[in-house]
Amino acid sequence: MDTFLIAAVAFFVVNALVFVAYLRKIDVNGDAVRKLEKDQFTAAYNRQSAKARKARSSAATANA
């Protein structure tokens, strides 16, 4: 009976450690995903801004 209790405690401790490591991995990946989305948004915004500047400058030159 004592051996069973020791094995059960060891099993739950290992499961707890694996679970904590898994949660940390999710959090790290979550941060990476948020950073990637921010970088992609910034790049898309910069592309759109460049298009708008080009269109405004073309319109200004056409009107001049």
Cα–Cα distance for residue pair 27/58, rounded to 1 Å: 46
pLDDT digits (tens, 9 = 90+) for 31-51: 777 888 899 999 999 999 999
Three-class SS of 28-64: HHHHHHHHHHHHHHHHHHHHHHHHHHHHHHHHHHHHC
Residue 30's domain comprises 25-64
Structural domains counted in the chain: 1
Say if 17 falls within a structural domain: no
Which one is predicted more confidently, 60 or 27?
Answer: 60
Per the domain annotation, does 33 fall within a domain?
yes
pLDDT over 70 percentage in the chain: 89
More confident residue, 31 or 54: 54
Q: Give the rounded distance of the alpha carbon of 9 from its chain centre.
A: 35
| pLDDT of 28 | 64
pTM for this model (two decimals): 0.47
Tell me whether residue 34 is in a domain: yes
Q: Is residue 19 part of a domain?
A: no
The alpha carbon torsion through 50, 51, 57, 59 (nearest 10 deg) reads -170
